[in-house]
Amino acid sequence: MTLWHGRFAEQTNSDAFALNASIGFDRRMAEQDVRGSTAWVDALAQAGVLNLQEQTLISGGLQAIFEEFQSQTFTFAPGDEDIHSAVERRLGEIIGPVAGKLHTGRSRNDQVATDFRLWLLDHLPNLANALSDLQSAFIERAENDMDTLMPGYTHLQRAQPILLSHWWLSHFWPLQRDQARLADLTKRTAVMPLGSGALAGVPYPIDRGALADALGFAWPSPNSLDAVSDRDFAVEMLFSAALIGTHLSKLAENMVIFTSAEFGFFDLDDAYSTGSSLMPQKKNPDPFELTRSKAGTLLGTLTGLMATLKGLPSTYDKDLQEDKVPVFNAYDTLMAMLPVLAGALRTLTVKRVRMEAAIDAGMMATDMADYLVGRGIPFREAHALTGQAVRQALEKGKSLDAFSLAEFQAIHPSFDEDVYTVFDAQVSVARRESLGGTAPKAVKVQIQQAKEILQTQQSCRNQVKPYPRIKLLGENYVEHNLPRMRRRI
Amino acid sequence: MTLWHGRFAEQTNSDAFALNASIGFDRRMAEQDVRGSTAWVDALAQAGVLNLQEQTLISGGLQAIFEEFQSQTFTFAPGDEDIHSAVERRLGEIIGPVAGKLHTGRSRNDQVATDFRLWLLDHLPNLANALSDLQSAFIERAENDMDTLMPGYTHLQRAQPILLSHWWLSHFWPLQRDQARLADLTKRTAVMPLGSGALAGVPYPIDRGALADALGFAWPSPNSLDAVSDRDFAVEMLFSAALIGTHLSKLAENMVIFTSAEFGFFDLDDAYSTGSSLMPQKKNPDPFELTRSKAGTLLGTLTGLMATLKGLPSTYDKDLQEDKVPVFNAYDTLMAMLPVLAGALRTLTVKRVRMEAAIDAGMMATDMADYLVGRGIPFREAHALTGQAVRQALEKGKSLDAFSLAEFQAIHPSFDEDVYTVFDAQVSVARRESLGGTAPKAVKVQIQQAKEILQTQQSCRNQVKPYPRIKLLGENYVEHNLPRMRRRI
Amino acid sequence: MTLWHGRFAEQTNSDAFALNASIGFDRRMAEQDVRGSTAWVDALAQAGVLNLQEQTLISGGLQAIFEEFQSQTFTFAPGDEDIHSAVERRLGEIIGPVAGKLHTGRSRNDQVATDFRLWLLDHLPNLANALSDLQSAFIERAENDMDTLMPGYTHLQRAQPILLSHWWLSHFWPLQRDQARLADLTKRTAVMPLGSGALAGVPYPIDRGALADALGFAWPSPNSLDAVSDRDFAVEMLFSAALIGTHLSKLAENMVIFTSAEFGFFDLDDAYSTGSSLMPQKKNPDPFELTRSKAGTLLGTLTGLMATLKGLPSTYDKDLQEDKVPVFNAYDTLMAMLPVLAGALRTLTVKRVRMEAAIDAGMMATDMADYLVGRGIPFREAHALTGQAVRQALEKGKSLDAFSLAEFQAIHPSFDEDVYTVFDAQVSVARRESLGGTAPKAVKVQIQQAKEILQTQQSCRNQVKPYPRIKLLGENYVEHNLPRMRRRI
Amino acid sequence: MTLWHGRFAEQTNSDAFALNASIGFDRRMAEQDVRGSTAWVDALAQAGVLNLQEQTLISGGLQAIFEEFQSQTFTFAPGDEDIHSAVERRLGEIIGPVAGKLHTGRSRNDQVATDFRLWLLDHLPNLANALSDLQSAFIERAENDMDTLMPGYTHLQRAQPILLSHWWLSHFWPLQRDQARLADLTKRTAVMPLGSGALAGVPYPIDRGALADALGFAWPSPNSLDAVSDRDFAVEMLFSAALIGTHLSKLAENMVIFTSAEFGFFDLDDAYSTGSSLMPQKKNPDPFELTRSKAGTLLGTLTGLMATLKGLPSTYDKDLQEDKVPVFNAYDTLMAMLPVLAGALRTLTVKRVRMEAAIDAGMMATDMADYLVGRGIPFREAHALTGQAVRQALEKGKSLDAFSLAEFQAIHPSFDEDVYTVFDAQVSVARRESLGGTAPKAVKVQIQQAKEILQTQQSCRNQVKPYPRIKLLGENYVEHNLPRMRRRI
């Protein structure tokens, strides 16, 4: 029996019931629902709507239900259209008619928005931790691979030599921006809709500030009409997830290319590769291909929910029920991918010889131009002169560093014996020691900076008590998630 | 044990295995997989790769597996990474080592593309039938409601009176375009990848034309590299589904607005409405709101898969595994919505008095301008004069049809006693009898046309044998799905 | 002549040049480009790469170009492939070969990312101001319309009476969340890529901290490879814009519905409506329909850029050039819409009589259930009893408040003479005085809170100096944009 | 002065006018607008609404305007809110008040939908031709490069050797599916809305079948309400464009990878590459990167319009004005890309030695397994045995073809002297001669088939007269665009 049967002369059509029911997915918020109801009972009691006996009875019943969920002994009934109905039904079975007092002053509209925000606040830290672990993997690789040079690419064409460690860290920072976005999202999720009723507010003297404290929210919502319809937090979560996916897709694309036979820069561990049903020699970078593909799917979930929200009229519309599946899917997708990526990175083999062999003299053309700049030639002219040298090299089929001094001087008389030093990739790399550059000196600073950020974040997260967790978040957590950028080396 | 363990020294990491495994969703293609394998066995035998005994043994084993799937007694093993592995494993359990001959000359790359196309070819008719049933509901309503006038809206502002039947039919034609798109999609799905191997083709003398016939495909694919990576059919299915969703969202938006207290044009049956957990008086049009919302979700699945495909390099990449869940979801979503919509439409009550009361004299302003046109005044001037009358009506707070003849003649001397006839909505409607217009005469032609289309489609679908079904589709089905538009009434 | 002609034996094909050129849209960053170059010249001089004379000469030339842009006398040449090339070409024309020293140590990769961020930092305040003005319009309306009751809706069905002021404010808070998102975006945009070179960093001793200060950035980027490819800020801007669009589409949808003849709650000013070329009586809410539609387009720009970024390999790829048009378009779209919306809201007429007439007794059914709750009946039972009353009212065709006491008591003996007070909408509204509720008392607090937020934001923005503006942003601005929620009334 | 000023007491606000005006983009349909109006005038005359003199006068005026557009002497006025207003204004200037008769029985709602469809029908052939030219380029390359072997990849890992010609053709077929989709789209675009009025149909005896013939449409629309709101053709065009974009992005991704130094399979002509402002040696595949990126943008335009259409109520809403810019943009984008791609492909250099050197013995592992199959070993066992050989090869650091016969026989006694033949890539390729396979024999058939399709398409297009063009399309064109697949070699 639904919560709203009174006014209706007829049962819901079974197909319509199936379309309408959300129990298939909102059961995932069972614990949050019970927690929210328990706090609501206390707030009703404090407001004088329930007496102590009723409060005790209902709270006890909710506690029993909570334990049933935890022990997975809760049984759903065919008529449970959603988790709220299921809990209220079961409460009635346990404690009798007084269960009917639980929903006083409350609507499923504010209840479901509260549950969903609680669920997200419970799970965002898991996502942040999984991201941190992947960030740690990049730092570990950067520390391990400090001695390895590799070709840096733009347009997938060889550009300039860089440190492999620098490249690993280039994947750290996007994820750090994602951490900051998740922290910002947390702020905006930590607003409590409960006490907004169906749309107009609650007609009992509920202390919503205290209720927010009890549930671990930072603030009660300021407008009841907005509160029951605001799904910004869900959209923002999907955006954050899609952007994380985009960042991981860049890593993935690189790994697919770098593990190809032609590049051959990395060898994945067998535990993180798969084979072919037909071709016995194949070893495929499936985890990275799946990571790349799921960036598309994550973008689809974002697009889908935003399109759903577009053009809805004010307050609660049933359309909003379409909010949960994409958020759950996005969360599950990232939580499945992140540990696999961390594992694959930690276990891969760097094929240093292949990497360094791929650095050709042409990649030091910019250094050659800078050499001429050092001799007073304007950069633009130096660039053109070096470009001519490159063209000659292509035509002659010889490497730039194989040019004779005479050949260099034919291009420009400023060239001298010391021109050959510019073709040393180690030297090239070491010269870029400005903040954020690829020189070992700068990369070591970068590693230090990255480690500090992770540690601060972690210690901040560790301080957070389960509930009330959000007040802390509001005050310190966010700031610690700001990028802690250095201004000087 | 995977199909490809030979080359690998180490087991797959369990997280990576879970990320990689598709058995969670591709088991849905179990019957198609067995059917494809059975045809492949026959093709191998015909090509002399298998002898009669092997063919019989393997076919028998596959038949046994098919029956296990049908009776739901098939048991998946923890190591089954996909439906293909599961079937080959089980085949080995039933018939022993000869099972190892099944995969000769075949790859999971061509196999999965074949299975997926077969699945779609099996299920598209269900979707077309569900659409047809909803189209029938519109025709039924149009036939029932021929006597009812309603306000037609543009910009949601009252525009001109129309027949309710005409409005019902305005939802028939978009779905008919969707039928045509599904037929076009069917053509492009009916291309068989099997026999493309992993990418390069098959080194045995397989008769791919005969194989296509056996499986009910119209044609074998013309290029093996393309065949294993082509997911156009999946994308096109998602596009068709998203556009169906968009069409249904228009119906839904109207129904939400038209069942509001302020419009009050329709009363939904209790069986297709729901109530509120808080507000006892509420009766909500949930099925239509959910329909509207799912248009967003369907768009998201399309966007997601297209983003996934963007930028993939040639032939099979693991990214392609992300193709099935969105197609299955889109299919399930539409199959859940369509019957509910048809039911809700068939059972609703038209509140004719409310509808007709909403037609005010201002809605005949165009007829009034046409009246002046009939007296030789250029339409643009007639429009301006009528606009002035409307402005005066607003200022005077009186309806246009309450103007005295003197008031009309003050606007323009051409007005005569017979001006009052233009405010009869029945007359206004009846004048629009050109093809596609709202006059009863034109709407009856339209109903006839719609019924003929549905009948032709249905009889064509009934002629289609299970297999080989596609040859027929190729020849007749498509043409019958062309919009059968009239050129004259 | 391109900046890179040296190495090439052949001219670019003209179609390829046209496809490649970005001058059509990146000219919009002309001033930012010159500003960035000027700071770069100073940094080169400080690093000893340029002498005082060269610095003065180049700076002077850049200043001249800046003035040409401001006076719109700058002439683009056919060969200018982008704004950077155009400026460097013109600089050469003005100051001769020393212009060739400008690009020392710099690449268009870090330059364009710097320009684009500067452009956004310059323009985000305009967007925030336009949002603030619309927020002010909501506050003004809320203050003006404090005495007006309206029906509140869920599922577009009449739900409970609310204050019109409360409804106006329900559109204020989503925009306030958007303000917070723009502030968060500002933080992440205020990171300077300049000094990252093409990808590997700069080989000259540039003080990037000082350079960031000079340009008004908060921090220099920490990793050069990331810096030249990071487009998170562009994506996040598009997300913020799309979510603003979604919020505005909710307002728009309501306005379209509420200005329909059937609702008739608002009358738009003629200055913000349009008519029909055919139907003289029409007055259409076009600005709101366009607002609703542009939410879709804004979502498309977000989706487009994210799909573009998906799967790109490391550092700069030419694909990134596709980042600017969507950001410019999204900015222009919002800047065109926001003032029109503010104007339309400020000038519309509230049709109070229509609004209040739309509040029927059934909307107080929840109050009736609460009445029973007050008599000790559990809410769930009270809901069912009231539901029965509603059903009887429908069957009898009479309003709930027209029931006789005997009729009420037949439903439940607890009903008493005072039951009729629950049907007073003013009383119903006034009871919801909890924080965020619709009671006048609560709404006045809400107005006060909203005004304080806007004022704080505005005064904070006023303190911001043109350059260096971002340091302030980093320290104070962000916090002031946190939702300043109340915890108690 | 707008077409609808009569009813309004006040001028439109200038910001609102600017937001509302579509003249900025719909002027692109100027010729279609005039053509549509000319046919409308004839239809009005035939229906007796205009007399011969009026018809002649208006037609003459329209002809004059048409010539002004063609000679680019037409001047837009500040008050022209759209192309329809501009033409009607200008007509009045030329022929006086009788111009006011043009709009009789017509609305901008049916007019704009007609113009837009005409525009698309005019321009789709250009798109099809540009696609055909790119398809021709693939055929030319396939014919030129018949002798070149290359490694085929799955998962970007070397898989099996293939013919380069086969690879070129793998890009032909997706475009052929696109051609078929464009033909299907043409069918659905060739439906004429004109004569639907604002929404309700036309009250004059217009022969819409004849009008459709005159304008080159295949059918008049069957329902006026649907006709003014149907934008399926625009959405379907954007979908087709986005899928073309996706196909081209696959080509682009390959070209970016294959022109990297590490692969080195192709050398782009200087005319289709660009350089770096900083790094003198760089030669970048910009046209392909831009192609890849624009696939994202095209997807965004599709998503945007579908989101815009989602949830709109019946008949014309102003939201529909957002339909044109994305279609124009998508068309322009493809028309800019396609010739550049064709040019780049025709001029690139195949580096055959690099390609063939990249085929290693491991790529013949499947042939080795097939060798064992030929000796009676079940494929699955043969696969495992070969996998072991591959693992040994990796451990020993030697190539498979360097194994001694003893080493082979240690793996399985069936190996014989002739095992070494399997490592001949030419033999491997030649064995895959089934339909669609990579053997030269099969590829030649494929080339023949592709050429026939292009020729048939072209000759069909050539038969099409400007107007009435669509009837032909309805009858023959579509069928010629069905994939003309072979069933046998």
Q: Kindly report the number of other CB atoms within 10 A of residue C271's CB atom.
A: 18
> Which range among A318-332, A446-460, C55-69 shows the weakest confidence by mean pLDDT?
A446-460
Among the partner-chain residues D153, D280, D369, the one whose CB lies closest to the CB of A365 is D280
Question: 373-402 in A: which are within 8 Å (CB) of B?
Answer: none
Which tens digits make up the pLDDT trace of B429-451? 999 999 999 999 999 999 999 99
Q: Which pLDDT belongs to residue C458?
A: 78
Query: Please, are residues B254 and B345 in contact by the beta-carbon 8 Å criterion?
Result: no
**Rounded mean pLDDT of D175-190?**
92
User: Which chains does A contact via 3+ CB–CB distances below 8 A?
Assistant: B, C, D
Among the partner-chain residues D156, D277, D383, the one whose CB lies closest to the CB of A260 is D156
Classify residue B222 by its DSSP letter: S
Q: Which chain B residues contact residue C384 at CB under 8 A? A: 280
Query: Please, are residues D57 and D47 in contact by the beta-carbon 8 Å criterion?
Result: no
Pairing label, strands D191-192, D219-220: parallel
Among the partner-chain residues C259, C285, C387, the one whose CB lies closest to the CB of B280 is C387
Residue B5 annotated in active site: no
**Is residue C477 predicted with pLDDT exceeding 80?**
no
User: Which chains does D contact via 3+ CB–CB distances below 8 A?
Assistant: A, B, C
Among the partner-chain residues A201, A243, A442, the one whose CB lies closest to the CB of C436 is A201
Which tens digits make up the pLDDT trace of D322-343? 999 999 999 999 999 999 999 9
Annotated catalytic residues of A are 155, 276
Which tens digits make up the pLDDT trace of C71-123? 999 999 999 999 999 999 999 999 999 999 999 999 999 999 999 999 999 99
The β-bridge partners of B153 are B158
Catalytic residue among B14, B71, B155, B404: B155
> Given CB atoms, is A309 within the 8 Å cutoff of chain C?
yes
Distance CA D436, CA B370 (A): 64
Q: How many CB pairs under 8 A join A and D?
A: 133
User: Which chains does C contact via 3+ CB–CB distances below 8 A?
Assistant: A, B, D
Among C84, C58, C66, residue whose Cα is nearest residue C4? C84
Cross-chain Cβ contact C104/A373 below 8 Å: yes
Q: Which chain C residues contact residue B363 at CB under 8 A? A: 281
Distance CA D331, CA C84 (A): 29
Which tens digits make up the pLDDT trace of C362-410? 999 999 999 999 999 999 999 999 999 999 999 999 999 999 999 999 9
Pairing label, strands B266-267, B349-350: antiparallel
Collapsed DSSP state (helix, strand, coil) of residue B389: helix
Q: Which pLDDT belongs to residue A5?
A: 81
What would the DSSP string read from start to end of A435-453? TT-SSHHHHHHHHHHHHHH
Tokens of A352: 């240093």
Distance CA C394, CA A94 (A): 35
Helix axes A286-309, A324-347, angle to 10 degrees: 160
Q: Which chain D residues contact residue A278 at CB under 8 A? A: 366, 383
Q: D412 pLDDT band (50/70/90 cuts)?
A: very high
Cross-chain Cβ contact C283/D7 below 8 Å: yes
Q: Which H/E stretch holds residue B172?
A: helix B172-189
Distance CA D291, CA C308 (A): 10
Q: Which residue in A has a C-alpha nearest to residue C369's C-alpha?
A: A104
Give the helix ranges, DSSP H, for D318-378: 324-347, 352-357, 365-374
Q: Name the pTM for this structure.
A: 0.96
**Is residue A287 predicted with pLDDT exceeding 90?**
yes
Q: Which residues contact D380 (CB under 8 A, 6 or more apart)?
A: B3, B88, B99, B100, B101, B102, B103
Among the partner-chain residues A156, A306, A363, the one whose CB lies closest to the CB of D257 is A156
Cross-chain Cβ contact B246/D235 below 8 Å: yes
Q: Which pLDDT belongs to residue D465?
A: 46
Q: How close C21 comes to chain D (CA, Å)? A: 10
Tokens of A182: 């998740």
Length of chain A: 489
Among C231, C240, C193, residue whose Cα is nearest residue C307? C231
**Is residue B286 predicted with pLDDT exceeding 50?**
yes
Cross-chain Cβ contact A221/C436 below 8 Å: yes
Handedness of CA C22, C26, C30, C31 (dihedral sign): negative
Most confident of A12-21, A463-472, B309-318: B309-318
Distance CA A196, CA C437 (A): 7
> Which range among A324-338, A454-468, C8-22, D345-359 shows the weakest confidence by mean pLDDT?
A454-468
Cross-chain Cβ contact D19/C309 below 8 Å: no
Q: Which chain A residues contact residue C167 at CB under 8 A? A: 225, 314
- To probe the interface with D, which of C88, C102, C293 has the most D CB atoms within 10 Å? C293
Collapsed DSSP state (helix, strand, coil) of residue A423: helix
Distance CA D197, CA A272 (A): 64
> Which range among A13-17, A476-480, B133-137, B138-142 shows the weakest confidence by mean pLDDT?
A476-480
ipTM of the complex: 0.95
Q: Which pLDDT belongs to residue C187?
A: 86
Q: Which chain A residues contact residue B199 at CB under 8 A? A: none
What amino acid is encoded at C130 in this protein? A
Classify residue C50 by its DSSP letter: S
Question: 410-429 in A: which are within 8 Å (CB) of C?
Answer: 428-429
Cross-chain Cβ contact C159/B307 below 8 Å: no
Q: Which pLDDT belongs to residue B458?
A: 78
Q: Which own/partner pairs from C369-378 qualify as long-range (CB within 8 Å, at least 24 positions apart)? A: C369/B280, C370/A104, C370/A105, C370/A203, C370/C422, C371/C415, C371/C419, C371/C422, C372/C412, C372/C414, C372/C415, C373/A49, C373/A101, C373/A104, C375/C414, C376/C414, C377/C412, C377/C414, C378/A97, C378/A98, C378/A99, C378/A100, C378/A101
Q: How close A270 comes to chain C (CA, Å)? A: 24
- To probe the interface with B, which of D435, D447, D476 has the most B CB atoms within 10 Å? D435
Classify residue A319 by its DSSP letter: G
Q: Which residue in D has a C-alpha nearest to residue A362's C-alpha?
A: D281
Distance CA A356, CA A354 (A): 6
Q: Which pLDDT belongs to residue B463?
A: 58
What would the DSSP string read from start to end of D166-215? HHHHTTHHHHHHHHHHHHHHHHHH-EE-TT-TTTT--SS---HHHHHHHH
Q: Which residues contact C190 (CB under 8 A, 6 or more apart)?
A: C117, C121, C216, C217, C218, C219, C470, C473, C474
Please provide the average confidence, as pLDDT, over all residues in chain A.
Answer: 93
Handedness of CA B212, B218, B219, B225 (dihedral sign): negative
**Is residue C485 predicted with pLDDT exceeding 60?**
no
Better pLDDT: B484 or B133: B133
Among B189, B232, B186, B192, residue whose Cα is nearest residue B110? B192
Among the partner-chain residues A191, A381, A383, the one whose CB lies closest to the CB of C485 is A191
Distance CA A246, CA A47 (A): 48
Cross-chain Cβ contact C319/D15 below 8 Å: no
Distance CA C112, CA A154 (A): 15
Question: 322-361 in C: which are within 8 Å (CB) of A?
Answer: none
Q: Which pLDDT belongs to residue C483?
A: 40
Q: A486 pLDDT band (50/70/90 cuts)?
A: low
**Is residue C464 predicted with pLDDT exceeding 70?**
no
Q: Which chain D residues contact residue A155 at CB under 8 A? A: 256, 282, 284-286, 289
Q: Which pLDDT belongs to residue A470?
A: 41
Place of tokens 């500040």: D78
Q: A485 pLDDT band (50/70/90 cuts)?
A: low
Among the partner-chain residues B180, B314, B316, the one whose CB lies closest to the CB of D167 is B314
**Is residue A55 predicted with pLDDT exceeding 50?**
yes
Which tens digits make up the pLDDT trace of A174-227? 999 999 999 899 989 999 999 999 999 999 999 999 999 999 998 899 999 999
Distance CA C312, CA C293 (A): 31
Among B425, B466, B432, B478, residue whose Cα is nearest residue B180? B478
Distance CA A285, CA A281 (A): 13
Among B165, B162, B161, B167, residue whose Cα is nearest residue B365? B161
Which tens digits make up the pLDDT trace of A374-427? 999 999 999 999 999 999 999 999 999 999 999 999 999 999 999 999 999 999
Distance CA D443, CA D145 (A): 11
Among the partner-chain residues B171, B243, B303, the one whose CB lies closest to the CB of D303 is B303
Cross-chain Cβ contact A205/C434 below 8 Å: yes
Question: 259-288 in B: which are within 8 Å (CB) of A?
Answer: 269-284, 286-287
**Rounded mean pLDDT of D84-107?**
97
Q: Which residues contact A24 (CB under 8 A, 6 or more apart)?
A: none
Q: Which pLDDT belongs to residue A7?
A: 84
Distance CA B456, CA B483 (A): 11
Q: Which chain A residues contact residue D159 at CB under 8 A? A: 276, 279, 282
Q: Which chain D residues contact residue B155 at CB under 8 A? A: 316-318
Among A206, A137, A189, residue whose Cα is nearest residue A323? A189
Cross-chain Cβ contact A4/B319 below 8 Å: no
Tokens of D403: 């194994």
Distance CA D158, CA A402 (A): 33
Cross-chain Cβ contact B7/A283 below 8 Å: yes
Q: What is the largest CA-CA distance in chain B?
A: 101
Query: Please, are residues B174 and B94 in contact by the beta-carbon 8 Å criterion?
Result: no
Handedness of CA C213, C215, C219, C222 (dihedral sign): negative
Better pLDDT: D481 or A328: A328
Q: Roughly how many angstroms between the first and final C-alpha of chain C, as a whole number?
A: 68
Give the helix ranges, DSSP H, for B259-403: 286-309, 324-347, 352-357, 365-374, 379-396
Which tens digits make up the pLDDT trace of A256-283? 999 999 999 999 999 999 998 888 899 9
CA distances, D87 to each of D1, D111, D114, D214 (Å)? 13, 12, 15, 20
Which tens digits make up the pLDDT trace of C312-323? 999 999 999 999
Cross-chain Cβ contact D4/B252 below 8 Å: no
Cross-chain Cβ contact C224/A437 below 8 Å: yes
Which tens digits make up the pLDDT trace of A231-251? 999 999 999 999 999 999 999
Tokens of C81: 């492939």
Distance CA C394, CA D373 (A): 79
Which tens digits make up the pLDDT trace of C137-182? 999 999 999 999 999 999 999 999 999 999 999 999 999 999 999 9
> Given CB atoms, is B9 within the 8 Å cutoff of chain A?
yes
3-state helix, strand, coil in chain D (%, to 5): 65, 5, 30
Cross-chain Cβ contact D250/B172 below 8 Å: no
Cross-chain Cβ contact C296/D322 below 8 Å: yes
Q: How close D101 comes to chain C (CA, Å)? A: 12
What amino acid is encoded at B358 in this protein? A
Q: Which residue in B has a C-alpha nearest to residue D99's C-alpha?
A: B378
Strands (E), C19-154: 149-154
Residue C383 annotated in active site: no
Distance CA B244, CA A458 (A): 48
Cross-chain Cβ contact A289/B319 below 8 Å: yes
Q: Kindly report the number of other CB atoms within 10 A of residue B269's CB atom.
A: 18
CA distances, B471 to each of B461, D41, D380 (Å)? 13, 47, 34
Please provide the average confidence, as pLDDT, over all residues in chain C.
Answer: 92
CA distances, B10 to each of B2, B89, C114, D369 (Å)? 12, 20, 47, 22
Q: Which pLDDT belongs to residue B476?
A: 39
Classify residue A477 by its DSSP letter: I
The conformational region for residue B96 under phi > 0 = left, psi -120 to 50 = alpha, else beta, is left
- To probe the interface with C, which of B153, B281, B303, B390 has the most C CB atoms within 10 Å? B281
